[in-house]
């Protein structure tokens, strides 16, 4: 049976390109044809390793207010009050799912019996190599989250489909359905797995590369003497708030927002609610023990953030 490896990618660093190239070479050594999709232009040294290459401008990252991915944490303000900090990021799930949909659409048109969906940095160890060569059934491979060492039953990292199942799988990837899901791209994959009765692998697979934001979702500070969080929720008449917490010692702090100024000398937490709307913020500076830091660049980078009192 003829087998085609479908490779989803967004390789914007040399590290990613290196891993993609290594994997393309491994697929060739295994005697497998490849179809690579990329929203970024890739050099000929990469594309010449592919049997098929599809360069697309599609990369539909969803941002607020359409959809965001949130991380929240609850922190003690004092003995009587807790503060909930909520950080929202643009959501990449639909961009990944659409690449999968396009890859399946292209693969279905070609003369192959088995379509194998992968991501560019799949770790091709002995187990994966054997599965790539085996005449297996429709299978969605379990995946291990390398940060929390958690095993997930569904992901886009490694999926083997007969053409018949691939047709149904592709039809099941719909934005309207995804937008109703309170979860990740993997949540939709898991739903499709159950609907089409696709089996799970016995063993999980891993990525070669994994980027993680660590525990700094709620700290924008450039100064190790304090932690910092502020609101950004434009176009909804939300007042700008700034929260300084986690001070290791008493500090002389000055907070400047536009033309307003607040002073704080303590190691206690400080929450300031201004009368300035988030969309009107033009300057954020904090001076701590004589050291000044400008936070406008950090503010511009934030998609959405909010502070709630509990």
- The mean per-residue pLDDT over the stretch 130-135 comes to 86
Tell me what pLDDT residue 147 has. Answer: 64
pLDDT in tens, 15-49: 999 999 999 999 999 999 999 999 999 999 999 99
CB 223 within 8 A of CB 286: yes
Rounded CA separation 246/108 (Å): 55
In terms of Cα–Cα distance, which of 50, 41, 42, 86 is closest to 68? 86
Structure tokens at 51: 């049997």
Q: Where in the chain is the domain with CATH 3.90.550.10?
A: 3-60+91-205
Q: Where in the chain is the domain with CATH 2.60.40?
A: 227-309
Q: 227-309 maps to which CATH number? A: 2.60.40
CB 247 within 8 A of CB 262: no
User: Does the structure show a pLDDT above 90 at 107?
Assistant: yes
CATH superfamily of this structure's domain 3-60+91-205? Spore Coat Polysaccharide Biosynthesis Protein SpsA; Chain A (3.90.550.10)
pLDDT in tens, 3-13: 999 999 999 99
């Amino acid at each position: 049976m003829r087998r085609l490896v479908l490779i989803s990618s967004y390789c914007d660093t040399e590290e990613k390109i290196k891993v993609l190239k290594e994997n393309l070479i491994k697929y060739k050594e295994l005697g497998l044809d490849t179809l690579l999709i990329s929203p970024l232009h890739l050099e000929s040294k990469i594309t010449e390793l592919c049997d098929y290459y599809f360069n697309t401008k599609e990369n539909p990252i969803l941002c607020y207010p359409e959809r965001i991915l949130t991380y929240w944490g609850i922190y003690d303000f004092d003995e009587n009050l807790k503060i909930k900090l909520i950080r929202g990021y643009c959501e990449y799930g639909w961009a990944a799912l659409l690449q999968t949909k396009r890859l399946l659409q292209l693969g279905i048109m070609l003369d192959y019996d088995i379509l194998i969906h992968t991501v560019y940095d799949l770790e091709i160890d002995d187990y994966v190599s054997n599965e790539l060569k085996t005449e297996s059934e429709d299978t969605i491979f379990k995946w291990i989250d390398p940060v929390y060492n958690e095993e997930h039953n569904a992901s886009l990292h490694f999926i083997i489909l007969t053409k018949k199942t691939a047709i149904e799988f592709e039809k099941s990837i719909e934005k309207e359905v995804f937008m109703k899901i309170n979860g990740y791209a993997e949540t939709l994959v898991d739903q499709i797995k159950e609907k089409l009765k696709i089996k799970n692998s016995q063993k999980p697979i891993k990525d070669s590369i994994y980027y993680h934001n660590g525990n700094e979702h709620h700290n924008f500070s450039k100064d190790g003497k304090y932690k910092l969080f502020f609101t950004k929720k434009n176009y909804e008449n939300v007042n700008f708030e700034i929260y300084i917490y986690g001070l290791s010692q008493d500090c002389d702090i000055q907070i400047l927002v536009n033309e307003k100024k607040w002073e704080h000398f303590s190691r206690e937490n400080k929450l300031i609610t201004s009368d300035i709307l988030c969309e009107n913020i033009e300057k954020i500076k904090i001076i701590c023990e004589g050291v000044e830091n400008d936070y406008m660049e950090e503010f511009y980078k934030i998609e959405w953030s909010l502070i709630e009192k509990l």
